[in-house]
Amino acid sequence: MPRTRFLGTGFAVPDRVVTNDDLSRVMDTSDEWIRTRTGIEERRWAVEGETGAGFAHQATLRALAAAGLGPGDLDLIVYATSTPDHFAPGGGVYLQRLLGDRPIPSIDIRNQCSGFVYALSVADAFIRCGQFRHVLVVGAEIQSTGMDVSTRGRNTAVLFADGAGAVVLGPSDDDASGILAFDLHGDGHYAERLWVDAPGSMYHPRVSHEQLDAGRHFLDMDGKEVFRHAVVRMPESVRAVLAATGHDTGDLTLLIAHQANLRISEMMQKSLALRDDQVYNNIMRYGNTTAATIPIALDECVRAGRVRRGDLLALTAFGSGFLWGSVAVRW
């Protein structure tokens, strides 16, 4: 069986920059509070008319160009989002439509902050079994329209943001390089600790004026509980995925973790005893773009020359579900 290799990466974010001072003008917060608790300095929020599929399209064109391929070379889209442009259909078909006329299949993955890692696992299975050759994996989110941008929503509104990252995957021509292993987990007992309650098909109707007035359509989070689990689960999973490949953290060239909160990343780095050059963080500039954080960070690292052929990488994520997991890659 071939391994799955990364052939190209790309990302796109909105032009509109929202600083911590911008937020402190519309809610009771401060640049100092946000920087100290989260590390975030600014984030990108879409303006009306911009869509998740639109950013996914820009990211895809960059990833395709880096791979030396065109939209006509793609065989499958795996589209990770927790914020589809519409309730149905999913984001993948909107991206497929933007890419051209070929009716290629697409699969949406609804796994929130872990969406990109899960999406990679789906693409990897299809490539390894030979069903599809060139698979596009995208993480794309518009979180800003689901935030309560007032003091009531300040614990989430300061964290989440918009953007998209894309990777083009294909079969490796050697046994040594490519995706080596996955480590995936989920525990639905914590589903309501980080969730969007409505609209939901369990309600008649799916969303009511009362629910809207109560803000139940906004992302709702128990920040302390998420923090407590994230700082344990991600390091645990990184160790597990490296052990599955016969490696340990000393062998790691680079860890790219989901950009949830800089404090979480720092605690993880400490618990894994990683040097500064073994980790990459960009949450300061982009906030938490959910399924898009890892492919955005990965593309920045690739373009900055921080990832070279033969390097050992781990990507790890934790989020709503709770769902978490990691992937080990020989670049």
Ligand X SMILES: CC(C)(COP(=O)(O)OP(=O)(O)OC[C@H]1O[C@@H](n2cnc3c(N)ncnc32)[C@H](O)[C@@H]1OP(=O)(O)O)[C@@H](O)C(=O)NCCC(=O)NCCS
Confirm whether 288 is a catalytic residue: yes
The one catalytic residue among 247, 258, 261, 301:
258
The one catalytic residue among 20, 57, 111, 113:
113
* Rounded-to-integer distance, Cα 182 and Cα 162, Å: 26
DSSP state of 232: H
Q: Candidates 32-40, 65-73, 139-147, 211-219 — which segment interacts with ligand X by CB under 6 A? A: 32-40
* Rounded-to-integer distance, Cα 272 and Cα 261, Å: 17
Q: What are phi and psi of 98, to 5 degrees?
A: -70, -30
Query: How many residues touch ligand X (CB under 6 A)?
Result: 20
Grouping H, G, I as helix, E, B as strand and the rest as coil, residue 7 is: strand
* Rounded-to-integer distance, Cα 126 and Cα 316, Å: 21
Out of 4, 29, 58, 121, the only residue in the binding site for ligand X (CB under 6 A) is 29
Confirm whether 282 is a catalytic residue: no
Out of 128, 185, 223, 266, the only residue in the binding site for ligand X (CB under 6 A) is 223
Shortest distance (Å) from residue 181 CB to ligand X = 23
Residues 112-131 that bind ligand X (CB under 6 A): 113
Q: Does 226 bind ligand X (CB under 6 A)?
A: yes
* Rounded-to-integer distance, Cα 64 and Cα 60, Å: 6
Q: Does 319 bind ligand X (CB under 6 A)?
A: yes
For residue 106, list its beta bridge partners.
Answer: 77
* Rounded-to-integer distance, Cα 16 and Cα 215, Å: 25
Residues 275-294 that bind ligand X (CB under 6 A): 288
Q: Does 111 bind ligand X (CB under 6 A)?
A: no
Residue 138 · residue 60 · CB < 8 Å:
yes
Out of 96, 261, 265, 289, the only residue in the binding site for ligand X (CB under 6 A) is 261
Q: Candidates 6-14, 137-145, 223-231, 268-276 — which segment interacts with ligand X by CB under 6 A? A: 223-231
* Rounded-to-integer distance, Cα 316 and Cα 184, Å: 10
Out of 62, 154, 229, 247, the only residue in the binding site for ligand X (CB under 6 A) is 154
Out of 38, 51, 121, 172, the only residue in the binding site for ligand X (CB under 6 A) is 38
Confirm whether 113 is a catalytic residue: yes
Q: Candidates 51-59, 150-158, 166-174, 208-216 — which segment interacts with ligand X by CB under 6 A? A: 150-158
Select the residue whose beta carbon is closest to ligand X and give its number: 223
Out of 179, 180, 260, 329, the only residue in the binding site for ligand X (CB under 6 A) is 260
The one catalytic residue among 20, 247, 288, 301:
288
Q: Does 37 bind ligand X (CB under 6 A)?
A: yes
Q: Where are the beta strands (DSSP E) in the chain?
A: 4-12, 17-19, 42-44, 76-80, 106-109, 135-141, 163-171, 178-186, 194-195, 220-221, 254-257, 279-280, 312-319, 323-330
Residue with tokens 């709770």: 322
Q: Does 264 bind ligand X (CB under 6 A)?
A: yes
> Which residues, other chains included, contact 306 with Cβ-Cβ below 8 Å and sequence gap of 6+?
254, 280
Nearest to 156 by CA among 222, 59, 255, 235: 222
Q: Does 158 bind ligand X (CB under 6 A)?
A: yes
Give the up-direction half-sphere exposure of residue 103: CA atoms within 13 A in the CB hemisphere: 0
Q: Does 227 bind ligand X (CB under 6 A)?
A: yes
Out of 224, 270, 275, 308, the only residue in the binding site for ligand X (CB under 6 A) is 224
By CB under 6 A, name the binding residues for ligand X: 29, 33-34, 37-38, 113, 154-155, 158-159, 221, 223-224, 226-227, 260-261, 264, 288, 319
Catalytic residues, which ones? 113, 258, 288
